[in-house]
Structure 1
Amino acid sequence: MRPLPPLNALRAFEAAARLGSFSRAAEELGVTHGAVSRHVQTLEQFLGAALFRPQGRGRVPTERAAVYLAEVSAALDRLGSATERMREPATVRTVRVSIVATFAMRWLIPRLSAFQIAHPRVEIRLVTSTEAVEHLQDEFDVAIRRHAMHRPGYVSRHFLADPNLPVAAPALLARCPVATPADLLQAPLLHSDSKPNAWLEWFRAAGFSSRQLPTGGQRFENYFFALEAALRGLGFAVGALPLVADDLAAGRLVAPLAGPIFVSEGYHVLYPANRSNGTVMQFVDWLVAEGARVDTAPA
């Protein structure tokens, strides 16, 4: 038996977290504010964890709940798509995409509506994974990773540049001003296990030796957590510009230094070499075009 929470509780949590309001979630779901609150409490009891924390007069998802939200939203989307396929079994085509969770949440999902508008009968099914594609056991049509990939019968194609530089919340920058790269040697730094060498690469690009580099700072399991911590003013993170561009444009994050910028291999998409699946190539071509359209230069 799968340990599944009640569907109504999941729907209430997903709507409240996505819309940022219990009242707006109640309007969308056609229930009362109290019903949404009770459903969220039921889910919190089921999970044994708080899903929201106070902020101002409202409540926002906790860091763990934000990650859970991405999975729940994707699961509800898949459930809805599966239901549609049962109603019209021959009309929906599926592209299974293996993708890293942070890139899915911060870059791909915010842009997927454009693809869905252009291709309304194609379902993009996202399956998050950090495993190397040559070892993946799950079936997939397309894989997206932050490096070139190698798998027999597939082609790896670069589609998005990945420049990186330090970012922080404006409030932290006011308390801890940074005018030169050396200022960051004494600043609170945020690290992640999924990008363990980010600060090392940046400081080396800034001309510092390994012996000069700071060894402290908060460490998070996932890069998404490090970026969320930066947004909350907990420290400076090395921001991959494709993933923080919206936050920089909105002023939620600031890049205090224009450089140096270090660039990784960039994001690549892996797809079948024979190109026999037209639906897969529709998605790949859109992905490449979207990557070329995105401006990854710092603001």
Structure 2
Amino acid sequence: MRSCLERIERTTSDLIVQREEGSSLDIAIGATFATQWLIPKLKDFRSKYSKININLTVKSDPFVLNNSQFDAVIYYGDDVWRDTAGELLLREGKVVPICSRELINDIPDVSAEIIAQFPLLHLSSREDAWKQWFATAGLADDLRPLRGSRFELFTMLTSAAMSGLGVALVPEIFVLTELANNQLVIPVSHHLPNDQGYYISYNDDPINKEALEVFGYWLRGRCNEAA
């Protein structure tokens, strides 16, 4: 009942917005993909489709999309959500070690063994990432990856690494700007591959179907450029 009332309320609100400004889309999305990837690109969307407003709400747990107020949801995983129509947008790809340049300034040749001596920063939901990284680098028996500070979001990891708190493992697609600006460096080329990625699922009965199709078309184009 509550979801029905929310949808009715949003429909009324959107009709008012459409009369005065244009269409509006409500997108549920993970925090990191929103802040580190999508939002920096929305200026391009606005320049092309100025009459479509994109509203983003952070949601990290699965929910019943067709009974919600959202037109679509963008999420991390290994497949499209069950009972939804969707598609893969972008594979996560390389997960790389990152740190501030100052952290390794006086070290001429950084290796995996040297990385093991630094404070290691962990993502709470991927606590085995460093263990896997060291194992594939030939240091399977090193226990240091089990120690270190833990953070809930990749954005927190990135900020901690930029502040010189240690070395973090982060998908390269989320730190391209920081790497280009020399705010971060990749001290060792060894990385973890990841075939999982970011998907989008569409509400079967969106309030603004045409606007959603336009957004999906634009989003696929930007993801293809990044692939």
TM-score normalised by length of structure 2: 0.81
| Counterpart Cα distance in 1 of 2:122 and 2:88 | 28
Q: Give 1:68's aligned residue.
A: none
Q: Which runs of 5+ in 2 are unaligned?
A: 1-12
Question: Is the Cα contact below 8 Å between 1:133 and 1:151 reproduced in 2?
Answer: no
Q: CA deviation at 1:271?
A: 2.1
Say yes or no: does 1:108 pair with 2:62.
no
Question: Is the Cα contact below 8 Å between 2:66 and 2:204 reproduced in 1?
Answer: no
Question: Is the Cα contact below 8 Å between 1:168 and 1:237 reproduced in 2?
Answer: yes
> Mapping of 1:255-270 within 5 angstroms?
255-270=186-201
Q: CA deviation at 1:246?
A: 0.4
| Counterpart Cα distance in 2 of 1:192 and 1:261 | 14
Q: Which runs of 5+ in 1 are unaligned?
A: 1-81
Q: Give 1:192's aligned residue.
A: 123
Q: Give 2:214's aligned residue.
A: 282
Which of 27, 52, 62 lines up with 1:122 in the alignment? 52
One-letter identity of the residue aligned with 1:226: L
Q: Give 1:291's aligned residue.
A: 223
| Counterpart Cα distance in 1 of 2:216 and 2:41 | 14
Question: Is the Cα contact below 8 Å between 2:65 and 2:72 reproduced in 1?
Answer: no
| Counterpart Cα distance in 1 of 2:66 and 2:22 | 25
Question: Is the Cα contact below 8 Å between 1:99 and 1:128 reproduced in 2?
Answer: yes
State the secondary structure of the residue aligned to 1:261. Answer: coil
Flag the 1:87–1:145 CA change in 2: closer, same or farther, 3 A.
Answer: closer
Which of 178, 202, 213 lines up with 2:133 in the alignment? 202
One-letter identity of the residue aligned with 1:283: F
- Aligned pairs, how many? 212
Q: CA deviation at 1:224?
A: 1.5
Higher relative contact order (CA 8 A, sep 6+): 2
Say yes or no: does 1:235 pair with 2:191.
no
Percent identity reads 26
> Mapping of 1:1-299 within 5 angstroms?
86=16, 89=19, 91-134=21-64, 138-147=68-77, 148-174=79-105, 179-209=110-140, 211-214=141-144, 215-272=146-203, 277-294=209-226
Q: Give 1:57's aligned residue.
A: none
One-letter identity of the residue aligned with 2:97: P
Q: CA deviation at 1:129?
A: 1.3
TM-score normalised by length of structure 1: 0.63
Flag the 1:283–1:198 CA change in 2: closer, same or farther, 3 A.
Answer: farther
